[in-house]
Amino acid sequence: MAIWTRADKNGQLDLLLRDRWIRVAAELTRETLTLTAEADLSGPGGNLDYNSSQSGLRNGLSNGGEPGLASANPNRNQNSDIHPNHGAIRRSDSPARGALSRGHFENSSNYGYNSPGSGKFSRDNGANSDFGSPGSSYGSPGSSFSSRHGEMPNSFEADRSEAIRKVRVVKQESGGLGISIKGGRENRMPILISKIFPGLAADQSRALRVGDAILSVNGNDLREATHDVAVQALKKAGKEVTLEVKYIREVSPLFKKPSMVADLPWEGTRSHSPSFSGDELPKHGPPSKDRKVIPLKMSFISRNLTMPDLENRLLELHSPDGQHTVVLRCKDAASAQAWFTAIHTNIAALLPQTLAHVNAYLSAPTTATHPQLKHIGWLAEQVQLDGGRVQYRPIVMALTEKDILLFDSVPWSRDAWTNPLLTHPILATRLVHSGSSQGSPALGGDLVFATRTGTSRGIESHVFRVETHWDLSSWTRALVQGGHAAAELIKEVSIGCVLNRQEVRLTLHYDKGFTVSREPGDPTGGMILYRYPYEKLKMSADDGVRKLYLDFGGPEGELVFDLRSGPKPVVFVLHSFLSAKLTRMGLLT
């Protein structure tokens, strides 16, 4: 019986959430990975200068391989573009997962915040702000604004649904206005209020809200103002400030901080598996909208699968239903490998629970047949694309005592089990390759194994990628030993065919070898024509269409069987019987 080791680990990671990186505290336990939001690191309209050496840029490259772009002003990030392509967070049926993009970064200034005793403003240049925008540049996906540089958005000028308001704000003796702004002509945005600090002057006026565009300050028009001009206007406004504002409905959602509960969909095993009890999830106290608890049972941890990872520091955690992917970024390659190993170890340790659950419903009294699940897990199947290119897609493989089944998600129920994507008899399948292959720029070579199955249509080949050497050895052993066990269990395979214009039956028996007999319906009865043990076989071949050639060195010479269909299933079964017998005799290991 296998003794599983489990890993407990915690630390800080970056989570790709709604097209931006969010700093999270990660806690790994035996059965769950808990992510708790800490800070918004970057993203479209985010306020962290992701091009500076202090902002988390590793090795001079952003993930996706785009070189860092230096800002014209070293003190702040005005309007830098970074557009790495990433894989999609939600998966579709297409092997190509789509792409995420990051847009412009805008600067941001706080007025009167953290400056007690003074009406002066404090600038943070976006470095320490706690807000960001998922779509900061006009013309970006989901934006209704004009994309021409220097123009104000059309909706800003033409929208009459919101009235222009004049708001009088009296600054406090300490605390200043108490707002944060972002935008400006150079950013192709109006000057927008992005945050209102509780208890300060703007908040006490009860007349301003996040998403208000500041059109003027004390009569000074800011419609075409740059960010710095707006900063100076607010700085010189005096104690009493009259703001002309208009609420921009289209941009107000951009300032909402993402919630991991709302924005991180994840379907685990709870809704599918009755064996999941509430005790299996850790007690975390009152529910928090900034925390996500991810069950690990039958999740799929992978690297460099659906997203490019040139820096080798990303992790992909795929949901058991095959619909969602959580992308995590570590500080460096060594940290990524440590986190990957820990999560993979815990997922592997939960495998016996899944086997017990599936076998429980397969052996239910209402089940007509009772297959026994021997092994199950996530793999990545190679998919051929146009132009000779290949791609991998996540897939679940299950091995029973007789069959290999493929699913697009974990079959938690009997209904799901009866609808596999593909079923192959393990006796007609052979393992033809197991080891490393080239083609992964991040890892230096994928670990893969390949299978070939004899079918009536010919040979069907599959290539599967695994994540670790442990996975490779586990699947290799399960397939080889499963084939040998199936040979001993099934014992005998026979097929009706034609030999010398006579209807005969060719039988392959695991112990007795070959038997050729007349069909029972033949007038002469089902008499045996030939019987040979395996060691008498001198030659075997097939034409790949319908004929099988066997030569036992007897006086009858070469026997030519017309199988009326593809001969490959019989050829592969013969190979499995011979391999199992040689292994049992100790001639193969």
Q: What is the mean pLDDT of residues 211-226?
A: 93
Q: What pLDDT, on the 0 to 100 scale, is given for residue 39?
A: 58
Confidence of residue 423 (pLDDT cuts 50, 70, 90): very high
Q: What pLDDT, on the 0 to 100 scale, is given for residue 101?
A: 31
Given a cut of 50, whether residue 120 has pLDDT beyond it is no
Asked whether 45 and 361 are in contact (CB, 8 A), the reply is no
What is the dihedral sign for C-alpha 547, 563, 487, 553? Answer: negative
What's the token pair of residue 384? 């051929």
Q: What pLDDT, on the 0 to 100 scale, is given for residue 102?
A: 30
Q: How far is CA 486 from CA 403, 525, 585, in A?
A: 9, 31, 17
pTM over 0.75: no
Q: What is the mean pLDDT of residues 282-300?
A: 73
- Beta-bridge mates of residue 317: 301, 326
- Distance CA(264)–CA(258), nearest Å, equals 9
154: DSSP letter: H
Q: What is the mean pLDDT of residues 370-386?
A: 92
- Max mean pLDDT range (6-15, 35-44, 76-85, 557-566): 557-566
Q: How far is CA 437 from CA 306, 434, 466, in A?
A: 18, 9, 11
Q: Which residue has the higher pLDDT, 213 or 109?
A: 213
What is the dihedral sign for C-alpha 43, 45, 48, 52? Answer: positive
- Distance CA(404)–CA(127), nearest Å, equals 54
In this structure, how many other beta carbons lie within 10 angstroms of the beta carbon of residue 574? 20
State pLDDT tens for residues 462-487.
999 999 999 999 999 999 999 999 99
Q: How far is CA 358 from CA 28, 409, 421, 483, in A?
A: 25, 13, 17, 21
3-state DSSP call for residue 215? strand
- Distance CA(462)–CA(504), nearest Å, equals 34
Confidence of residue 162 (pLDDT cuts 50, 70, 90): confident
- DSSP states of 251-310: TGGGGSPP-HHHH-----STTT-TT--GGGSPP-SS--TTEEEEE-TT-EEESSSSS--T
Q: What is the mean pLDDT of residues 380-394?
A: 90
Radius of gyration of the chain from its Cα atoms, rounded to whole angstroms: 33
- Distance CA(141)–CA(139), nearest Å, equals 7
What's the token pair of residue 54? 């202090």
State pLDDT tens for residues 172-185.
777 788 898 988 88
Q: Going by C-beta distance under 8 Å and a sequence separation of 6 or more, which residues neighbour residue 180?
A: 108, 109, 110, 111, 113, 129, 131, 193, 194, 195, 196, 197
Q: What is the mean pLDDT of residues 129-137?
A: 30
Q: What pLDDT, on the 0 to 100 scale, is given for residue 41?
A: 52
State pLDDT tens for residues 299-344.
999 999 988 888 999 999 999 999 999 999 999 999 999 999 999 9
Q: What pLDDT, on the 0 to 100 scale, is given for residue 7?
A: 78
Confidence of residue 9 (pLDDT cuts 50, 70, 90): very high
- Distance CA(116)–CA(197), nearest Å, equals 14
- Distance CA(67)–CA(81), nearest Å, equals 11
Summary mean pLDDT of the chain: 76
Please state which of the ranges 266-270, 393-397, 403-407, 409-413 shows the lowest mean pLDDT.
266-270
Q: What pLDDT, on the 0 to 100 scale, is given for residue 20?
A: 79
Would you tell me the crossing angle of helices 333-349 and 351-362 to the nearest 10 degrees?
Answer: 30
